[in-house]
Structure 1
Amino acid sequence: MRIQASAFALMLGAAMAGAPAEEPALRLHRSLSPLPPGARDQAPLFVASDGMQGFTDGESVLQGNAEIRRHGLRVRADQMRYWQDLNEVEASGNVEVWVGADRFRGPRLRMRIDDQIGALQQPEFSLGARPSRLRSGAAVELRGDAKVLRLDGEDRYRLDNARFTTCKPGVDDWYLSANSMDLDFNEDLGVARGARLTFKGVSTPTLPWVDFPLSGARKSGFLPPTIGAQGKVGAEVLVPYYWNIAPHADATLTPRYMTQRGLQILSEARYLDRFNNSAVRYEYLPNDQQLGTSRSAYSIANTLNIPGVGVGLLNLNRVSDDAYFRELSGRMTLATQAYLPREGSFQYAPSPWWSWTTRVQRFQTLQNPSNPVTPPYERVPQILLNGQRYDYGGFDLAGSGEFVSFEHPTLPTGQRLVGYPSISYPMLASGGYLRPKVGMHLTRYGVTRTQASEAQLNRAVPIFSVDSGLTFERPTKFRDADVVQTLEPRVYYLRVPYRNQNNLPVFDTGVTDFNYAQIFSENYYVGSDRVSDANQLTLALTSKLIRTVTGQEIFRALLAQRIYFEPQRVGIASTIPLRTERYSSYLFGLAGQVLPRTTLEATAQIDSQRFNPERFNIGARYQPARDQLLNVSYRYTNEALNVNPLPGSAAQGTPIRQIDGSVYWPITGGFSFIGRYNYSIANNAPIETLAGVEYNAGCWTVRGVTQRFITGTGEQNRLFFIQLELDGLSRVGSNPREALRRSVPGYSVGAPRSIAGQPFDLNE
C-alpha cells in the first residue's frame, strides 16, 4: 500500500518554517516561480513510499517506490534512509535525482538536502538546458556518465572519469571525456583535467587542463582552428587566440599559414561602452613567398555617441598594395572593392529641429593595370547644416546647407557652397493629402582650373512642386481570408526653370537610376553640381492587399509614368544624351505571397512608345519549411541602360541577361544540398557558382562548400570551405555561413529548440 506522508511533510514544513501549518491548497503562482534567496531552506519537504518506519532518533526508513521532494529537488529510489536532524538522505537501488533541469541516475546516493552536497555512484546524467546556457537561441541538453558524481552545492558538480555528449542515447558519434571535470553554473565555468575529444572513434591528444564557459560566454583561450583553401593562397590554417580583456573589451590574435604565401598575423581589438563602439584590425604578412615583400592592411572604426550632443564616426582603411584584397582575401565583398574610405565625421544635433555635420573624406583607390578606375574627388572638409520645423502656423519649413572643398590629384579642384531653403503647406485628410512646396536652390563655386586660374560661379534655381494622393479601401476575400484592398492614386507635378550650367564643374554628381523612388524626386541627378530643368507630371497607382486581423501586407502592385511638357536641356556630360521624348517609360512592380509558401517580386521598365522591355527583374522564392528553400530570378537590361556594368556582367553598351538560382534542400538521410548559379547569358559564362553538401546528424553537422566568383577586375577567385559543428560544443573548420547567407537569400542555420527543464517539471 502506497503511503502519502502528508502529515509528516506538514510537520517538517511547520517545524522548519516556524509557523503553524495551513490547510493544503493549490498555489500555482508560487510553485512555478523561483524561490528568493534563502527561501529554499524553509520550503516544506514531501515524503512518499509504499512503506515507512520511524525511529525515535529521527531516522526514517522508506521502503518501495520511495520519494523525497522539495522545491527544485526530487529523489526517487527503491529504498531510502532519512535523518531529520541532519536533513540528510541515503538512497539505494535505481536512484533517480532531479535537481532543477538536471537529471541523474545511479545505484547509490548520499546527500544533504539543505545545501545539496553529496555523492552519486556510477551516475548517468542529463544536464538540461538553462537560459544562460543558450547559444544563438538554441537550447542544448548534455548527457553522459561518470564513475562518481559529487554535488558541491546548488548548480555545482564534480565528476570523476566522466564523459558527455549532446547526441541521443545510443548514438555516441562524439563525446568529450576527462579524468575529472568541475561544472560551476553559478560562476559559468567548467574545468576539465585530462580532457580529450573523440569523434567517430578518432580522439584528439589529451589536454592536461582546460577551462571553458558553460554558457558560450566570452573567455580567454584558443578558439577552434579554421581550415580552408583559396586559389591564390593555397591551403590555409588559422589558429585564433581570444583574449577577454574586460566585459567591454576583447582582442583576437590569429596566426594564418598559407602554403603559397607563408605565415600571416591577423589581429583585432574591440571596445564597447555606453559612449564608444570601436574596432581595430591589423594584418601583417612579413614575407610573401610569391612576391618576396611584406604586405599589410589595417582598419579602424569607431562610433562615438554623446547623448544630447551628437554622434562621431571614424572609418580608416589602408592596404599596402592594390592587389592585397584580390590575392589574400576570401570575401567577395572585399575582393571586388576598388575604393577604401578614410573618413571622419561628427554630427552635432542639440535639438530635433536642426543638426550640423562636419566630415573629412579621402580614399585609397585600388588600381589594376588591366581595368583602371578614376579616383573619386576627396572632401576636405565637408560641412552640412540641416533644419526643419513642422506645422509652424500650418506650414512646414526646411532648409539645408553645404560647404565642401574638393581635392583631386589630376582633375580641377574647388569649393562648393549650397543652400536650399523651402516651405510647404500640407493639407491632410483621412483619405488623401495635398502638399504644395516652393524652394530656392542656391549654389556658389570657387574653381581652380589651373594653378594660376580661378573662377567664381553662381547659380540660383527656383523649385516648385505639388504632391497629392488619395486612398480608397474596400473589404474583400483573398484565399478565404478577410483582407482590405486599397487603391491609391498619386499625382506629382514638378516645375524647375532652365538655368545654363554648362560652365559648372562636376565633382560628385551622377545620373540617378529611373525607378519608383526617383520618379517622385525633385532632381534627375544625384548631387548638387546639376539641378535638372523640369516641367513634368508624374502619375502613379498603387494597390495593396492587407489582412484585416493582423494588418499584414500580403500583396502590392504599382504602375507609374511621367509626362514631360518640355524636352530636357540641362546635361552632365556629352556622352549622356538629353531626354527628348514626351512620355517616360512605364514602371511596373508587384510583390507578395501569390501562392502558399511562395513569394514573387517583379519590377519592369517598359518603353511607352514601342512597348519594348528596357529593364526588368523577376524573382520567386519557394520555402515550404525552414530547411527547404528555392530562389530563382532573371535580370535583363538593354544596351542603352548598361552604362556601368558590375564585375562579370555584360560589357558596357551590350544587353545584360542574367539567370540566378539558389537552393537549400534536404536530399535524404540528413543530407542537404546548398547551391547557387549566377550565369551571364551575354558573356556565356558564370558570374558566381557555389555548391555544397550539408549533413546533419542531430548532434553534429558537417558542411562542405566550394565557391567561384569574379572579382572587380574580372579575375576569378576560387574558395573551399569545410566545417564540422559539434552541437553545443564547438565548430572546427572554415565558416561558410557568410558566403551562404549572401549567396542563398533566406538561408539560415540551426532552428531554435524549446527550453527544457522549467520549474513545473517537478510538480505533479
Structure 2
Amino acid sequence: MLVKNFGLFVLSVFLLGTGFPSTIIAEDLPDMKKRRPSVLPALNSSSPAKERTDPIFVSADQMIQLQNKNLVKATGHVLVRYGKRTIRSREIIVNTATGQGEAHGGVIMTAEDGTVLRAERAQFNLKTKKGRWFDVKGKIAGIYYVSGKEVRKISEGHFQTKDVSLTTCTGDLPDWTIETSEADLIIEDRALFKGGIFKIKNIPILYIPLGYFPMVTKRKSGFLIPRLGVSSLDGVTVGNRYFWAINPQWDATLGVEYIEKRGARGALEIRYATSKTTWGQFYGTILDDNLTGNTFWKIDATHHQNLPLGFKLNAKIDGTSEDSFNKTFANQTESRTRRSSDSYASFFKTWSNSTFDILARYQESEEATTDDSLGQLPTVTYKTQPIAIGGTSFIFNQETSYSHFLVDLDTDPVVDNFEGVQRADIHPQVSLPINLGNWMRFTPRAGVRGTYYSKGIRENMVTGTNTFHSGFSRELIDLNATLEGPKFNRVFLSGNPRTARFKHVIEPRIKYQYIPNMDRADRAKIILIDAIDDLNYTHQINYFLTQRLLKKGNDGTVVQIAQFEISQGYDIIETTRLANPMTPRRPLTNLRFDLDSRFTDYLMLNFDTEYNVYDGVLETVNFDVGVKPTDWMMLIVERRAVHRQSTSILGTVALGLPKGWNIKYSTRFDEFREEILEHNAQLTFNNSCVCWGFILDFIRRNNFDNDIRTTETKLLFSIQLRGLGDFDGTRGESFLHRTF
C-alpha cells in the first residue's frame, strides 16, 4: 500500500520487534528497486550489526515502507536520526534493521564528534558508523575541513580519502590546504598521504610525494613536524622529533638535528609528574662537532618532590661541556653570557618560625680566561626566625650552619688546585624593638659569632707563596641599631571612580653597624668564599629616605605603584685613617637613588644611580623604561652604565598590525665600544580563524665559537598548522626581546 501525504509525514520505527503497519505489502519492493539500486551490501558484507535499543527515526514529505524487508524509502526533506547521528537529504533508502542506507541529493551528515559532511551522494551504516561520501565538502571531528571526490569512514575516527584537500582554515579560499590523491586519516593520531601539494591561497608551494602529519589535539605519541634553521656559521639545520606519551605521568621527546657544517646532534627530553607533589624534567643534547673537532654536550634537569614529615626536595642538574655549549649554541642572551653552571640539591623543611636545609651545590666556571669553580658538599643550615623570648619584648633569632667547601685555589682554567675546607658557624642575635610614640621605632640588636675553619691560607707578600693553616677559629661580636621614623603620610582623592584614593608615605630610616677589630690574625687566614667569610672591622652609619605611593581601589585592593629611595653611608673608620694628599679621607659612600614604579599598566619606569660626592661623577646609571600606549604598540629601553668601564643599551619595539600580523625588533648596543652586539627581528602571524600561524626570526650577533669571536647571522622559521602540529625552529625562545 502506497502511503502519501502532501503535508509532513513522520514515522518512528523502533528496533524492538514492533514492526510496521500491516497494510504495507511486499509488492511495493520491486517498484522501489527499479528506481534506486540495492541498499549498500558492501558496507556490511559479513553479518548485520548487533541490535541496540536506539530507534531509527525517519521523517519526510513522502515515504514507502516494506515490513518484510525492513526497508524505508523517503523523499522530500528527509531526516534520518539514530542516536546523536543525523542524515538529511532529498531522497534516502534505509534498512531499519541493519542501519545501512543510501542518500541522494543535498546530503548532510552530522555526528556526535563534530563531523559534518555535505555530499551529492552517500552510502552509510548508522549502526557501524561506516560510510562513503561522494563529491563531498565538510568538516571531520570538528577541526579538519575536507573537500573533494570521496571520503570514506572506516571506523570511529578513521577516514580514507581520494582526491581530497585538507585544511583547518575556513572560507571558500582557505589560507592553506594540502591536496592529496590518497590519504589515510586517524584523528588524534596521524595523516598518511601521497601525491600531496601544499598550497597557500590556492597557489602551489610544495610538492610532497609521500607525507606524514600528526593529527593530534590531545597528548599522544607521534612524530612532530620537522625543524628548519639557517646560520652563516652552521649552515642549514634540519631536524625532527618524536613525542612519546609513555603513560599519563611520563612523556618524552627524542630528536635528531642535522647541522650542515657541524654534524648530527641528538637530544632527549623527559617530563614527568608522578603525583601532585612530585614532578620534574630532563633535557640532554650532544654534538660531535665537525667544525671545531670538539664534543659539545649539555644537561638540564630539575626535580621537585614533597617528602614525608613535611620535608621537600628541590634539585637541579646544570652541566655543560668544557667547550662551552651555551656560548656556541644558545640563543638566549642570559645563557650565552653567564659565567658558570649551577647544579644543586636542596632538602629542606619549614616550620612556623624556623627552617632546616641541607644543600649540595656545585658551580663550574664557563669562562675561557678564569676558573672559579666551587662546591658545597654539603651546607647544612638551621635558622630561627625572629621570635619573642617568653613573655618579654626581647626578640631572638639565630643561624647555625656547617659547610664543606671544595675550592679551586688556582684561577687558571688549565690548572686545577682543589682544596677541601670545612666551616662551622653559629650566629645568635637578640633585639629589643622600642616604639617611640606611634610614628617611630628604635630597635637595638646584639649578636655574637663563632666560626671554625678546618683550613686556612696566608700568603707571603715577599715570596708570593702560600702557607696553609689548619684548625683555627674566628670570634666576633656585631652590634647594630635601627631608627625608623617619624613616618608621614597623606591621602589624596582620585578623580577616577574606579580608584578610591592614593596614599603618599615618607619613611626615614637610620641604621648603625659595628663589628670590632678583633681576631685579626685568624681573619687573615680565611679563604674568602661567601659573605660569612668576608666580615671585617665595621663602624658605619647608613641613612635612608624612602617614599612610597600606594593606590587603593573601591574593592579595597591596595597596590604599591611607586617607591623612591635615597640612601648613603658614613664610614666612621675612614675618619680616623691616616690620610695623605694621594689618599685623602673619604668617609661618605656614594649617594644612591633608586626608583621602581608602575603607575599604570601602560608605563614602567625603573631607575637607579650612584653619585660619587667627592669626584662629582655618576659611578653607575641604570634605567628601564617601558611604554605601551595601546594594545598594538610597546617600547622598552634598558641602559646599564658603569663609569669608564661599560655602557650597554638594549631596546625592544613591538607592533601589533591588523589581521594578525606582529613585528618585534630588539637590539643590544655597546656604547662604551660603540658597536652593535646583536640584532633580533621577529615577524609573527596568526590568522583570524586561528587555523595557522608562523614565526620568522632573524638574528645577527657577535658569537664565540670555540672561544673565537665571530659574527653570526641566523634565520629561524616556525609554523603552526592547527590540528597538524608545529613546524618549530625556535623551541619557543624569547631571544633578546623584552616585555612587561
Change (3 A) 1:564 1:675: closer
The superposition leaves residues 104-144 of structure 1 with CA deviations (integer Å, 9 ceiling, x where unpaired) of 10122344445534333332121355xxxxxxxxxxx3201
Aligned in 2, Cα 1:397/1:105: closer, same or farther, shift over 3 Å?
farther
Percent identity, aligned pairs only, is 12
How far apart are the structure 2 equivalents of 1:306 and 1:438?
36
Q: CA deviation at 1:619?
A: 0.7
**Do residues 687 (structure 1) and 693 (structure 2) align?**
no
8 Å Cα contact 1:533-1:570 kept in structure 2 = no
Q: Does 1:303 align with 2:303?
A: yes
Which residue identity does 1:499 align to in structure 2? P
1:62, 1:80 within 8 Å by CA — same for their partners in 2? yes
Q: Displacement of 1:164 after TM fit?
A: 0.9
What SS does the corresponding residue of 2:673 show, helix, strand or coil? Answer: coil
Give the equivalent residue in structure 1 for 2:594: 587
- Conserved? CA contact 1:233–1:328, under 8 Å: no
The letter of the residue matching 2:738 is: P
What are the superposed Cα offsets for residues 508-538 of structure 1, whole Å, 9 maximum, x if unpaired? 34xxxxxxxxxxxxxxxx5553275444443
State the Cα deviation string for residues 663-719 of structure 1 (Å, max 9, x = none). Answer: 232567875433112223332211321124445566444443221334587935524
Alignment map for 1:182-201 (pairs within 5 Å) = 182-184=185-187, 188-190=188-190, 192=192, 194=194, 196=196, 198-199=198-199, 200-201=203-204
The CA deviation at 1:71 is 6.0
Q: CA deviation at 1:218?
A: 3.8
Structure 1 counterpart of 2:167, from 135, 148, 165: 165
Q: Does 1:635 align with 2:639?
A: yes
2:89 pairs with 1:77: yes
Report matched runs for 1:441-456 at 5 Å.
441-446=448-453, 447-449=455-457, 450=466, 452-454=468-470, 455-456=472-473
**Aligned-pair distance for 1:219?**
1.4
Residue 473 (structure 1) shift: 7.8
Aligned amino acid, residue 174 of structure 1: T
Q: Give runs of aligned pairs for residues 627-666 of structure 1, distance below 5 A.
A: 628-635=632-639, 637-639=641-643, 653-654=644-645, 656=647, 658-665=648-655
SS of corresponding position for 1:167? coil
Deviation at 1:736, TM superposition (A): 6.9
> Where does structure 2 lack aligned partners over 5 or more consecutive residues?
19-50, 411-418, 458-465, 577-582
1:487 equivalent in structure 2:
504
Does the aligned pair in 2 maintain the 1:162–1:181 contact within 8 Å? no
Partner of 2:234: 233
Alignment of 1:194-593 (within 5 A): 194=194, 196=196, 198-199=198-199, 200-207=203-210, 212-215=214-217, 217-221=219-223, 223-274=224-275, 275=278, 277-285=280-288, 288-291=289-292, 293-299=293-299, 301-303=301-303, 305-309=305-309, 310-341=311-342, 343-349=343-349, 351-368=351-368, 372-388=369-385, 398-410=397-409, 414-422=421-429, 436=443, 438=445, 440-446=447-453, 447-449=455-457, 450=466, 452-454=468-470, 455-465=472-482, 474=491, 476-479=493-496, 481-500=498-517, 503-504=523-524, 505=526, 507-509=528-530, 529-530=534-535, 533-549=539-555, 551=557, 553=559, 556-562=561-567, 564=569, 567=572, 580-581=587-588, 584-593=591-600
- Name the aligned partner's letter for residue 734 of structure 1: G
Residue of 104, 107, 122 corresponding to 1:109: 122
Counterpart in the other structure of 2:33:
none
Partner-residue secondary structure (3-state), 2:588 = coil
1:602 matched residue in structure 2: 606
2:714 — aligned with what?
720
Aligned with 2:79 (options 46, 64, 67): 67
Q: Give, in whole Å, the separation in 2 of the partners of 1:82 and 1:619.
A: 71
Question: 2:174 and 2:679 mapped to 1: Cα distance?
Answer: 36
Q: Distance in 1 between matches of 2:670 and 2:609?
A: 20
Provide Cα deviations, 1:208-262, integer angstroms capped at 9, x if missing partner. 8x584532524144x3333323344333333444555554445544444334334
- 8 A contact 1:397–1:423 mirrored in 2: yes
Alignment correspondent of 1:709: 701
Q: Closer, same or farther in 2 for the Cα pair 1:568/1:62, shift >3 Å?
A: farther
Pair 1:99 & 2:111 matched:
yes
Paired residue secondary structure (1:723): strand
Q: Render the CA deviation track for 1:601-633: whole Å, top value 9, x for unaligned.
A: 2323364979976524141232633xx332232
- 2:665 aligned with 1:675: yes
2:617 pairs with 1:617: no
Question: Aligned partners of 2:566, 2:422: CA distance in 1, in Å?
Answer: 37
Question: Quick one: structure 1 residues 556 and 280, their matched pair in 2 at CA, closer, same or farther if it must change by over 3 Å?
Answer: closer
Higher relative contact order (CA 8 A, sep 6+): 1
Which residue identity is paired with 2:664?
I
SS at match of 1:379: strand
Distance 1:489 1:367, change over 3 A: closer
Change (3 A) 1:496 1:468: same
Structure 1 residues 226 and 694: alpha-carbon distance in aligned structure 2, compared to 1, 3 A threshold: same
Deviations 1:27-85 (A, max 9, x none): xxxxxxxxxxxxx9767876554455666666555433333456643332223345555
Between the aligned partners of 1:690 and 1:423, the Cα distance in structure 2 is: 54
The structural deviation recorded for 1:349 is 1.9
Tell me the distance in 1 between the aligned counterparts of 2:442 and 2:160. Answer: 73
Distance 1:377 1:278 in 2: 25
CA distance in 1, matches of 2:271, 2:478: 48
**SS at 1:335 equivalent:** helix
Task: Please report how far the alpha carbon of residue 580 of structure 1 lies from its aligned counterpart in structure 2 after TM superposition.
Answer: 2.0
TM-score by length of 1: 0.72
- Aligned partner letter, 1:308: P
CA deviations on 1:486-515 (whole Å, 9 max, x unpaired) are 233435443332322763536234xxxxxx
Deviates more, 1:477-486 or 1:93-102: 477-486
Instruction: Please list every run of 5 or more consecutive structure 1 residues that lacks an aligned counterpart in the other structure.
Output: 17-39, 130-140, 510-525, 640-652, 748-764
C-alpha distance 72-530 of structure 1, shift in aligned 2 (>3 A):
farther
d(CA) in 2 for partners of 1:96, 1:314: 57
Aligned 8 A contact 1:212 1:219 in 2: no
> 1:272 Cα deviation (Å)?
4.6
Distance in 1 between residues matched to 2:490 and 2:99, nearest whole Å: 72
Report the Cα offset of residue 461 of structure 1.
Answer: 1.6
Higher strand share: 2
